[in-house]
């Protein structure tokens, strides 16, 4: 007999516990009833103060006592109000309240369907706005049916919006979901578990190939995306399937589904008992083919006949002397190589070498035939500044050349290559013609790319193209040690961090005899000691940050927005906690933005005029150029805004519920609806280390605490420290810093490239 399910409702008061890995939470309602369960729609803290409806059962927890273990959690919200404010264009929350106070739901629906002109008497609805409302209402009416259908399965209003955004042009979406609820698994917040619950309600057999293949496909892609691998070993894959499908010892069932998916080429075998999703398999297979095709394909003649004479002349013009390593890189290109890896750690002169390479190639190609590219706008601007050549973000160049077979340019230099995952790397090489020169510049000491693949390290390991490795560290004077310190950490050494330097300062805020105290104090007393020390670290962070406020505002006043945004950056390993990005953003906003003008309060942050923000999701947005915006143009562009772009809030329009953000590096002014802010932007006074990959700041500050120990390793710390150009501060616990310096990151990503080439080495054949 199935256990009976109960309903509970109330206002969420506070969250007692939340596990970021599995989204399990324990919380309290306003009537002091405790609830627990998994909530994935958004971060549970964001819905504090909301009235919620839960289904589940009462349990008795050993520590927390009687509590309601929920299976579903929904925000209680009038369905029509949600639809009018979140889906229909032209109706904000204020207007929706006026309409629903004036009319019953049934009456308002009838007016919108039959006599919309009746709404012209409502304050705030003009003829132009009514036209927008009516068109939108008619276009999206079927979404209300979708909402009513999915609500039966515990799918919240916010998730219904996400579903529609993922399937905007699909006809009879309800019918398609009934036929295959697993089409929903790609939507963040649904995944396999929620889609599987819907499938169970619809009546899909829990042992069917259909269900197992959906889970296998989802599990494989999730594992690769979350772990950075592009392939997985079969035993681990089957263990993950057991967990998701709630099976045990069903390998025979898995084999049947696996073989069907292999036959359909939904997945691919990359080595003995290793498998990869199609998208990653083909991306990395074609990357290998690209390098193999270019292996012995040289330019027919040298670019300059007397290389030494050319170098001597260039050095006099440039005002610096190239090292033997740098000369070797230039010579490889001069000798006719069409592909080159230029690899160097912090301070080894990669930018200088890149400039020398491009200037040599200008002897053969025109200036406009040469372009430098990078993943982020700031990295793209930096390589343009240091080399003097045209630059673009990878995404903007791909979009510009979407309809073309190949890039127009004959020389493409990719900077910050460690940031580029397999799929993005494939998109680049797919647009490079066989006669074009491709130079890949990177630092394999940094964190690997976000997403699956390990192209830079694999390319170096297997020497897929000529490699020039820069090892000599340059420093302008003995008082500058940032590069030396970073490279010591990369190698697992504790640097001379206590000395006085122009570009590095360590401010110790430590618990005396940390390890002894940990073993001596009671758990509660030691916890209080750590809390006090964390507060001291935060106070020191605020003190240092305050010294940059005046310069920050001077740059904004003088319209040097790009420089203002990269003047000073807090970089921290984690989002949560007192010294995590979210809390630091709130604390830093208090000192960097003392605007008294009206602010918009989202569920996470309060947004004010002149706030520094970061876009956090690749998205097509309503935008204008700065010239269009200044002229008051009513025309708009559709622009792709990418994850990681830094911007400044230049207007908050409370009548239209719009936040307007300037992205200076891209000459782009972007218009956000208030209800989009939580999903699309964040304050950026403090960022996680992963968010700052490929970026460079004049000054940076890194909190150092044992609270972040789970994240500490040499790659993470090296990446954080090398984001600073002029000065890097580290504030916190010395023992935590020393431990991080010694904790060498040993996790190796598994990749399709490695699977294929390691198999080739065993078999002494190269089969693709």
Question: Taking the model in full, what pTM does it have?
Answer: 0.80
| Structure confidence by residue, pLDDT tens digits, 696-713 | 899 999 999 988 877 788
Measured CA to CA, the distance from residue 212 to residue 266 in angstroms comes to 13
Higher pLDDT, 246 or 94: 246
Res 745 pLDDT > 90: no
Question: Percent of the chain having pLDDT more than 90?
Answer: 49
Q: Which residues of 520-551 are buried (b: 16+ CB within 10 A; e: fewer)?
A: eeeeeebeebbeebbeebbebbeebbeebbee
For residue 329 the two structure tokens come to 């890189």
Average pLDDT over residues 235-256: 91
Which DSSP state fits 18? E
For residue 392 the two structure tokens come to 């673009």
Measured CA to CA, the distance from residue 670 to residue 661 in angstroms comes to 5
Average pLDDT over residues 313-332: 88
Average pLDDT over residues 92-108: 82
Residue for token pair 């990005």: 581
Q: What is the Cβ-side half-sphere exposure of residue 291, based on CA atoms within 13 angstroms?
A: 25
Res 585 pLDDT > 80: yes
Measured CA to CA, the distance from residue 653 to residue 641 in angstroms comes to 21
| Structure confidence by residue, pLDDT tens digits, 619-660 | 888 899 889 999 988 888 888 888 888 999 999 998 888 999
Q: For strand 391-393 and strand 370-374, is the pairing parallel, antiparallel, or unpaired?
A: parallel
Q: What's residue 741's pLDDT? A: 93
425 Cβ contact list (under 8 Å, min separation 6): 283, 287, 417, 453, 455
Query: Is the distance from CB of 7 to CB of 54 less than 8 angstroms?
Result: yes
One-letter-per-residue 3-state SS of 91-151? CCHHHHHHHHHHCCHHHHHHHHHHCHHHHHHCCCCCHHHHHHHHHHHHHHHHHHHHHHHHH
Q: What's residue 1's pLDDT? A: 40
User: Where does the pLDDT of residue 163 fall: very low under 50, low under 70, confident under 90, or very high at 90 and above?
Assistant: confident
Q: Residue 613's beta-bridge partner residues?
A: 647, 683
Measured CA to CA, the distance from residue 529 to residue 495 in angstroms comes to 27
Average pLDDT over residues 421-436: 95
Res 603 pLDDT > 80: no
| Structure confidence by residue, pLDDT tens digits, 381-390 | 889 999 999 9
First and final CA of the chain: distance in angstroms?
Answer: 54
User: Where does the pLDDT of residue 744 fall: very low under 50, low under 70, confident under 90, or very high at 90 and above?
Assistant: confident
Res 766 pLDDT > 50: no
Measured CA to CA, the distance from residue 427 to residue 182 in angstroms comes to 28
Residue for token pair 């001069």: 334
DSSP SS3 for 275: strand
Indicate the angle between helix axes 191-202 and 234-245, nearest 10 degrees.
50
Higher pLDDT, 90 or 265: 265
Higher pLDDT, 476 or 366: 366
| Structure confidence by residue, pLDDT tens digits, 257-269 | 999 999 999 999 9
User: Where does the pLDDT of residue 31 fall: very low under 50, low under 70, confident under 90, or very high at 90 and above?
Assistant: confident
Query: Is the distance from CB of 298 to CB of 337 less than 8 angstroms?
Result: yes
Q: Please compute Rg for the chain using Cα positions.
A: 28
Closest CA to 515 of 739, 676, 671: 739
Q: Which of 290-294, 504-508, 640-644 has the lowest mean pLDDT?
A: 640-644
Q: What is the dihedral of CA 571, 574, 578, 579, to 10 degrees?
A: -30
DSSP 725-751: EEEEEEEE-HHHHHHHHH---------
Higher pLDDT, 706 or 540: 540
Determine whether 281 is exposed, middle or buried from the number of CB atoms within 10 Å of its CB (0-12, 13-18, 19+): buried
Determine whether 218 is exposed, middle or buried from the number of CB atoms within 10 Å of its CB (0-12, 13-18, 19+): buried
Most confident of the ranges 44-48, 470-474, 617-621: 470-474
Mean pLDDT of the chain: 87
Q: What's residue 76's pLDDT? A: 66
Average pLDDT over residues 143-156: 70
User: Where does the pLDDT of residue 325 fall: very low under 50, low under 70, confident under 90, or very high at 90 and above?
Assistant: very high
């Amino acid at each position: 007999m199935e256990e009976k399910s109960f309903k509970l409702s109330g206002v969420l008061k506070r969250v007692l516990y939340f596990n970021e890995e599995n989204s399990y939470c324990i919380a309290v309602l306003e009537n002091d009833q405790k609830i627990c369960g998994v909530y994935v729609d958004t971060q549970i803290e964001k819905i504090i103060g909301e009235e919620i409806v839960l289904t589940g059962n009462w349990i008795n927890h050993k520590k927390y006592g009687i509590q309601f273990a929920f299976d579903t959690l929904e925000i209680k919200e009038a369905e029509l109000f949600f639809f009018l404010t979140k889906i229909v264009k032209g109706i904000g929350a204020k207007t929706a309240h006026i309409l629903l106070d004036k009319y019953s739901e049934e009456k308002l629906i009838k007016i919108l369907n039959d006599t919309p002109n009746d709404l012209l008497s409502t304050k705030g609805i003009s003829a132009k706005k009514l036209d927008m409302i009516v068109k939108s209402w008619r276009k999206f009416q079927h979404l209300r049916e979708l909402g009513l259908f999915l609500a039966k399965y515990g799918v919240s209003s916010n998730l219904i919006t996400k579903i529609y955004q993922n399937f905007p042009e699909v006809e009879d979406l309800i019918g398609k979901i009934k036929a295959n609820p697993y089409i929903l698994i790609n939507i963040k917040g649904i995944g396999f578990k929620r889609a599987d619950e819907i499938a169970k309600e619809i009546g899909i057999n829990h042992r069917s190939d259909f269900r197992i293949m959906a889970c296998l496909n989802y599990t494989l892609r999730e594992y690769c995306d979350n772990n950075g691998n592009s392939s997985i070993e079969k035993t681990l894959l089957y263990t993950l399937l057991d967990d998701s499908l709630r099976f045990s010892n069903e390998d025979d069932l898995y084999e049947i589904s696996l073989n069907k998916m292999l036959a359909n080429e939904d997945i691919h075998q990359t080595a003995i008992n290793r498998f990869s999703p199609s998208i990653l398999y083909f991306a990395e297979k074609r990357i290998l083919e690209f390098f193999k095709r270019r292996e012995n394909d040289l330019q027919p003649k040298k670019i300059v006949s007397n290389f030494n004479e050319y170098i001597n002349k260039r050095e006099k013009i440039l005002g610096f002397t190239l090292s033997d390593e740098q000369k070797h890189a230039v010579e490889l290109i001069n000798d006719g190589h069409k592909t080159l890896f230029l690899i160097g750690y912090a301070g080894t002169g990669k930018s200088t070498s890149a400039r020398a390479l491009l200037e040599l190639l200008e002897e053969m190609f025109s200036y406009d035939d040469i372009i430098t590219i990078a993943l982020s706008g700031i990295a793209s601007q930096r390589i343009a500044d240091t080399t003097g050549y045209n630059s673009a973000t990878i995404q903007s160049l791909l979009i510009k050349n979407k309809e073309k077979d190949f890039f127009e340019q004959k020389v493409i230099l990719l900077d910050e290559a460690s940031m580029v995952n397999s799929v993005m790397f494939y998109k680049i090489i797919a647009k490079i013609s066989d006669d074009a020169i491709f130079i890949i510049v990177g630092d394999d000491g940094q964190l690997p790319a976000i997403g699956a693949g390990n192209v830079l390290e694999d390319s170096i390991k297997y020497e897929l193209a000529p490699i020039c490795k820069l090892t000599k560290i340059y420093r302008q004077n003995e008082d500058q040690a940032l590069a030396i310190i970073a490279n010591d950490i990369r190698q697992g050494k504790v640097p001379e961090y206590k000395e006085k330097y122009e570009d590095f300062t360590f401010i110790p805020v430590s618990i005396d005899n940390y390890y002894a105290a940990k073993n001596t104090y009671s758990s509660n007393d030691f916890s209080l000691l750590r809390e006090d020390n964390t507060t001291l670290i935060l106070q020191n962070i605020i003190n240092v940050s305050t010294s940059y406020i005046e310069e920050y505002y001077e740059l904004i006043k003088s319209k040097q927005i790009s420089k203002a945004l990269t003047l000073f950056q807090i970089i921290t390993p984690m989002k949560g906690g007192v010294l995590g990005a979210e809390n630091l953003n709130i604390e830093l906003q208090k000192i960097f933005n003392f605007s008294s003008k009206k602010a918009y309060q989202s569920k996470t942050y309060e947004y004010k005029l002149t706030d520094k923000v970061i876009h956090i999701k690749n998205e097509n947005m309503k935008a204008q150029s700065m010239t269009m915006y200044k002229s008051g143009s009513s025309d708009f562009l559709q622009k792709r805004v990418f994850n990681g772009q830094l911007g400044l809030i230049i207007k908050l329009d409370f009548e239209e519920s719009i936040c307007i953000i300037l992205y200076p590096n891209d000459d782009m002014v972007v218009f956000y609806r208030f209800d989009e802010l939580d999903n699309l932007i964040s304050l950026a006074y403090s960022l996680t280390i992963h968010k700052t990959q490929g970026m460079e700041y004049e000054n940076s500050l890194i909190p150092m605490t044992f609270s972040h120990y789970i994240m500490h390793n040499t790659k993470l710390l090296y990446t954080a420290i090398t984001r600073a150009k002029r000065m890097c501060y580290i504030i916190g616990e010395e023992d935590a810093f020393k431990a991080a310096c010694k904790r060498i990151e040993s996790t190796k990503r598994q990749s399709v490239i490695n699977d294929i080439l390691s198999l080739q080495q065993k078999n002494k054949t190269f089969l693709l």
